[in-house]
Structure 1
Amino acid sequence: MSKTSTTLYTHGHERSALASHSARTAKNSAAYLLPHLKPGMHLLDIGCGPGTITLDLAALVAPGITIGIENVDTPLVTARTEAVARSDTTTRFQLADVLNLPFENETFNVVHAHQVLQHLKDPVAALREMVRVCKTDGFIAVRDADYAAMSWYPELPQLERWRETYRAAAYANGAQPDAGRRLRAWAHAAGIANPQITASVWSYADETACQWWGNGQANRCAGSIFSNQAQEQGLDDAEIEAIVNGWRQWAAEPDAWFCMPHGELLAQIRR
């Protein structure tokens, strides 16, 4: 999800970030939701990014209409290009703000958001808005990472410095990098009854996956988005370069392993 009117998006939309997000699929990022999807459902994907998850979900609910939203244009351009590559002419990608969705009450059977709430100053307000546009008996589906719970091997100090820096930058932007553990609390605060809370992980544990993840993170840390925010947190160029090199060192380790936990919220809306 990009920034909303009240939140700076910590990741930014540089090519390296979009490349990482483009590896996300419905299978590896929304498996908890898939058993509940049926053809003919109308689906809203909030924070659709480059559209890979959105288009996977769209194929499962067709001929129902799927709409993906962001509130800056850059990822939408990538998403529309992906739709053309898949010969999908019905899924729509448009500008919108999760805190002020431009849809009538009870428009969608499914309202989905992957790694979005962690970037918002007011995730509870976002959940209430998601509930508003969800049909009675429809589903709210949210998945968010938990940075404090991430783990890796070897335990390189440069990667711990990366985590400290990212979390500090996220907090400075008004975001919550450890959102995964808070989904149940946020659901209760939003008035969502009987939320189903689960967890799943992304795990990188073979040579190809570790090289892709580690070098991709190195590229992101070398980019201006991370570098500028790291400097705002007091890091100098040498410290940022050490983080970049740490990621490349980790990517080359024959025993490398990385685990990213996610919290998941699934709720059927009753009125």
Structure 2
Amino acid sequence: MSSHPIVYSSDHTSAVLRTHGWRTAANSAAYLVPYLKPEMTILDVGCGPGSISVDIAKLVPHGRVIGVEYTAEPLEQARAFAAKEGVTNAEFRIGDIHALEFPDNTFDVVHAHQVLQHVADPVQALREMCRVTKPGGIVAARESATPTWYPESAGLKAYWDLQTRIAQLKGGNPHPGSHIHVWAQQAGFERSQITCSAGTWCYSTPEERAYWGGTMKERTLSSAFATIALDKGLATQEELKDMAQGWQKWIEDDDGWYAILHGEIICRK
């Protein structure tokens, strides 16, 4: 295992896992899906509760998917979700993206979603992803870039400003979607090997606002976000409550709209 520090600024509380568990191949890895073939062997790095991993496993019925996460916390949920979905070609284990415990040239595809921004050395992570990918295989990554919302909200702006400060304080690289292709080049890929694209999440219906705003409100008050903010003196309890109220007002606004832009890369080895 590597000696890189853990810089993830969140945790695996129920609100965080609900956010991660909403993700599917369709809404979070559509740029990768056209490259998948039924017999492929795939590594999903930073798999969390396994929702994307299990979805991808369904698309490679004669292959297999291994999901790895730096901590065991979400992996039981991932295994339970795979069992619930009747997926038998997915497995989950602890692993470090900086030092993957697989031989060279093992996988047809190595995928990471919203992971590089949360690790100490994203370039080393991409080097490792490349190392365990077979010649002719694919390294795929998707990272958030810019969030935007309507209507204007001091509470939501304060939340994202604080979230960025916390991530930077922990040693992360928040919202790197616009330049992950540069990291890939630093990791050894030629520019001609990299295909860039962009995707979005958008929340605007009452159900979508309730889901997204509700989980973000809960995370504001009762997750590592709140603990770090208070412990480091980055925000007071009243300021966190104001941010949570900002999310609640956005949920209740019939015109509420929220979108996140993501940068995506397909890197051919």
Q: TM-score, normalization: structure 1?
A: 0.95
Supply the AA of the counterpart residue of 1:59. Answer: K
Confirm or deny that 1:170 pairs with 2:172. Answer: no
CA contact (8 A) 1:169 1:233 kept: no
Gaps of 5+ in 1: none
Q: Which residue of 1 aligns with 2:123?
A: 124
* 1:108/1:135 contact within 8 Å kept: yes
Unaligned runs of 5+ in 2: none
Give me the CA root mean square deviation. 1.1
Instruction: Find the residue that maps to 1:150 and give its secondary structure.
Output: strand
Q: Distance in 2 between matches of 1:224 and 1:75?
A: 15
Q: What amino acid is aligned across from residue 165 of structure 1 in structure 2?
A: L
Partner of 1:92: 91
Amino acid at match of 1:97: D
Q: Residue 248 in 1 paired to residue 248 in 2?
A: yes
Deviation at 1:68, TM superposition (A): 0.3
Query: Which AA in structure 2 matches 1:235?
Result: A
Aligned mate of 1:183, from 169, 172, 180: 180
**Structure 1 residue 40 and structure 2 residue 27: aligned?**
no
Please say if 1:262 is aligned against 2:262.
yes
The TM-score, its normalising length taken from structure 2, stands at 0.96
Identical columns (%): 38
* Alpha-carbon offset, residue 62 of structure 1: 2.0
The question of 1:159 aligning with 2:164 is answered no
2: CA distance between counterparts of 1:139 and 1:233? 43
Paired positions, count: 264
- Measured in 2, the distance between the counterparts of 1:173 and 1:182 equals 20
> Secondary structure of 1:74's partner?
coil
Name the residue aligned to 1:150: 147
CA contact (8 A) 2:65 2:89 kept: yes
> SS in structure 2 opposite 1:73?
coil
Aligned-pair distance for 1:31? 0.3
Give the counterpart letter for 1:99 in structure 2: H
Partner of 1:102: 101
Query: For residues 194-239 of structure 1, what are the alpha-carbon distances to aligned partners after superposition, in whole Å with 9 as ceiling and x for unaligned?
Result: 2111111101111111121111110111114111122225211100
Moved more, 193-202 or 100-109: 193-202
Shift, 1:5, TM fit: 4.2
- What CA distance in whole angstroms lies between the structure 2 residues aligned with 1:128 and 1:241? 41
Q: Give the deviation of 1:90 after TM superposition.
A: 2.7
Task: Deviation per CA, 1:127-162: give whole Å up to 9, x if none.
Answer: 00000000011011000012xx21101111011000
SS for the counterpart of 1:99 is coil
Please list every run of at least 4 consecutive aligned residues from structure 1 whose deviation after the TM superposition is greater than 2 angstroms.
Answer: none
Aligned partner letter, 2:197 = T
What corresponds to 1:216 in structure 2? 215
The answer (yes or no) to whether the contact 1:109–1:139 under 8 Å persists in 2 is yes
**Distance (whole Å) between structure 2 residues aligned to residue 214 and residue 253 of structure 1:** 11
Amino acid across the alignment from 2:256:
A
